Structure formats: C-alpha cells, structure tokens
Amino acid sequence: MGENDTREIHENLYILVTGANSGLGFSICCRLADEFLSTHPDSQSLTIIFTTRSSRKAEDTRRRLEKYLRSSSTPSAAERVQFVSENVDLTDLHSVRLLSRRLVQTLPKLDAIVLNAGIGGWSGIDWPNAIWGVCTDLLHQVTWPPYKLAPVGVLTNKQTEGPEEPLLGYVFCANVFGHYMLAHNVAPLLQRAQTPNGPGRVIWVSSIEATTKLFHVDDLQGLRTAAPYESSKALTDILALTSDLPGTAPWAVDSFLRGDFESNPDTNGTSAAPKPTMYLSHPGVCATTIIPLALPLVYAMLIAFWGARMLGSPWHTLSTYLGACAPVFLALSGQAALDAAEKPYHQAGGGRAKWGSSSSRLGVESVACTEIDGWGYGGVVGRPVVEADRCRRRKRGAVDLTREERENFEELGRKCWKQMEELRIQWDEILDRAEKAKTSDQ
C-alpha cells in the first residue's frame, strides 16, 4: 500500500454500531455524524458501519440516516460521512462469525465498535405494582423498575446441526456473548486504529439498571434468574471495568484482544500496535421500544420520565439523541480527552469509569460517571473524589465503596473473564467443527 493510501486511512474514521435500525442505535449513528462534522477538520471523513437483523431493515435504516444527514448538514459536509449497512443476528453465532469475516476482509481498520444491540427479554409488566410504585415512589421506580416480568431459562435456537451443544441463553447471547465473539474476531482491525483517535475502542452500552445484586457468577448466562436482562448488563459492567486489571490480563488482554481472523497484512502491521481499549457507557433513561407499549402508555411513560427529571434525577435523558451522548463521546473524543476524564479516578487509586448520558432539568446534556455496586465511582475506595459525583443524586441505599467490596469486585471480574474466554474457545471449536463437516458434505 502506498504512502498516500496509508495517510488517507489514518485520516478517516471507521466506526461500527450494532442494532441501529431504531431507538438508541439509530440516534448513535445520527449523533456520530453530527459531532464528527462539528469537531473534526474537513480533511477527515467518517464511515459508519451499522448493523441490523435483515436486508429490509438495513436498506430502510440507511435511507433514513442519509435523509437525516442531508437535513442536518450542508451538502459538502454530508459528503464526508458514509453509511454502510451489514446484517447480523447476535443470537446466531454463525451469523456473527460471517459478519466478522466480512469486516476483516473489507475494512482497513476499525477505530471503535459501539456494542449497542440488545433485547430486554421481558414478557410483560406487573401493572398493579407498577402503578402503585410510580404513584408512591416515582423517581426510584422509573429509574430502577422492579415490576418488569421475564421468563426464566430462555435459550437460543440450536447453533449447529450437531447432536449436542452446550446451552446458550437467549438474552445473554443477544446482549453480551454475541458482541463478545464479534469484538474478539475484529480485534485485528481495532489494533490498526492508531490515528487520529488513538488505540481502537470497544464501547459497551450497558444500562443504569445493571447491578451485581442480580448477577451470580455461577449462573453466568442468567438462565436461572427472573432478571436475565439486568444480569446480562451487570456482566457487561464487570467485564468492561475489570478489563485492564492485572488479575484479568491472562484472559482479557492476552487472549480476548488477540483476534483469530487475519486481516490483510499489507494494510499496516499490528504486531507493535497497542491493544484495543474497553470503555463502558449507558444512555440514562430514554424512551425506546425495548418494551412495546400502547400509544397512551408511551405518553404516560414520557410524563413519568419528565416528572423524575423535575424531581432531580440526573439520568432521565428522555430522548434517544440525548441518550447517545455518552457512547458518542467515547467513540469520537481524542485519547487525551478520555484520559483526562478518567485521570481523577486513577490518581485516587481507582480504575475505569462507567460513563452515562445525563441531563439537567432543562435538558442540558452531559457525560457523567455512574456509581456501581461494588465499584463505586471509578473504582475509588471511600468518598467520591470528583465534586460532580458527590453532588449527583444517588440510588437509595448507596454507600461509599469499601476496600473489601473493591477486592471482591476484582475477583468477580477475574472469574467472569475466565469463564467467558473458556466459553468463547469452546464455541469457536464447535463452530469450526460444524464448518468442516458442512464443507466435507458438499
């Protein structure tokens, strides 16, 4: 590859966004385009690779994104942003593998992947408890709702035609494991992202509802819990926040971030490139269709969310565009800006932070560190070290992080990373055998 081609690749950004046909994923794509055009020089361009579950959804999404771009920018600016569609079903590991291969074979690099797609897995709402809770405890009930109902033990369809394969939880695979396999497979592309933003980034989109109180390490896939969504998001938090710790390095850095699929070696060598970095985000509480509701109930939900914001909730962003604030901040900011944001926590002996989309009563958006059970604010033991964290409204019952809780969280991270890598290797072997069997039959 010539010097001019290499320079052009380095000046362009390539960002993958999963689950982009509606809601938060669609808004992330829109906001990526808006903020890129307003913050990056005219010499740079942006390619957004977005995924949906079908070709029909992909075409419709691309058309709506291009329409939005034309309406929100000048024609010359719009030419700097390109949308590319891909199909994937994250509950189908073969589909994930096919997407990974297409990306590795066709893209020169990936600067960031925003792992947004997911499902709630709920079957309904306990309406009597929901109505009573919202009427008597509005802010807490519409931030950490305890009244959602979900079936227990739902599995994906069989992944191969083999007679036996291990169980694979549906919500776990859609929210965590499908993304986990995808991120591992495209690691070579992420390693090529050296400029202009720094090392490639794996950006997990979690939830304000994630809590380790609903996660059990001996039920990694959440097959025995009535809260599989919350369990999967807690696992997401644990993996992302402990990914750079020495105790998880044998699995997180030395194994997971070394992809199996080879990309074009002529593009740019990656042997000396820094490993990709993991970041954790959440959109606050915004109105999406993750729980289908009748139109009158949608309006009631929005009124309740607005009421919680007026009562002082920092997390009710309401719109998905505001909810996209934190993921886009992590995807587009220069490495120096991200390092500066996390510097106070590292200086106080902490680590990674969970960055959430926050909103004031008047709808002024910001990116804010989020308190997590067992990890506190940025893993700092004791009182929060950042003034904004000390002033922000906390979840009822929250207490300052202790040294013992921090150590327990790190140990939990080590166990989760070990189990996830063992599961990934097991499934890669199963898929390899299935592919060989299919080839021999042809």
DSSP assignment string, 377-412: TTT--BS-SSHHHHHS---TT--PBPHHHHHHHHHH
Those residues whose C-beta lies under 8 Å from the C-beta of residue 299, and which sit 6 or more positions away, are none
Those residues of the chain that have pLDDT short of 50 are 265-270
Distance CA 142, CA 120 (A): 16
DSSP 334-353: -HHHHHHHHHHHHHTT----
Question: What integer best gives the mean pLDDT of the chain?
Answer: 92
DSSP 268-289: ---TTSPPPEEEEEE--SB--S
| Strand order, beta sheet including 81-87 | 81-87, 45-52, 12-17, 112-115, 201-205, 277-282, 354-359, 365-369
Domain count, the chain: 1
The confidence score (pLDDT) of residue 286 equals: 93
The torsion angle over the Cα atoms of residues 140, 143, 144 and 147, rounded to 10 degrees, is 90
Radius of gyration of the chain (CA): 21
Distance CA 173, CA 328 (A): 24
Please confirm, yes or no, whether 243 is among the known catalytic residues: no
Quick: pLDDT tens for 280-306: 999 999 988 888 888 888 899 999 999
Please confirm, yes or no, whether 229 is among the known catalytic residues: yes
The torsion angle over the Cα atoms of residues 426, 15, 282 and 354, rounded to 10 degrees, is 80
The confidence score (pLDDT) of residue 289 equals: 80
At residue 203, the 3 state secondary structure works out as strand
Strand partners, 16: 49, 113
CB atoms within 10 A of CB 89: 20
Those residues whose C-beta lies under 8 Å from the C-beta of residue 23, and which sit 6 or more positions away, are 288, 289, 290, 320
Distance CA 225, CA 231 (A): 8
Parent domain of 365? 3-441
The confidence score (pLDDT) of residue 262 equals: 58
Which residue out of 206, 231, 313, 357 is catalytically annotated? 206
Distance CA 348, CA 330 (A): 22
CB 189 within 8 A of CB 263: yes
Which residue out of 14, 68, 180, 229 is catalytically annotated? 229
CB atoms within 10 A of CB 388: 13
The confidence score (pLDDT) of residue 150 equals: 96
At residue 263, the 3 state secondary structure works out as coil
Q: What is the CATH number of the domain that holds 401?
A: 3.40.50.720
Please confirm, yes or no, whether 45 is among the known catalytic residues: no
Which residue out of 148, 233, 275, 354 is catalytically annotated? 233
The torsion region of residue 119 among left (phi > 0), alpha (psi -120 to 50) and beta comes to beta
Distance CA 314, CA 366 (A): 10
How many CA atoms does the CB half-sphere of 2 hold within 13 Å? 3
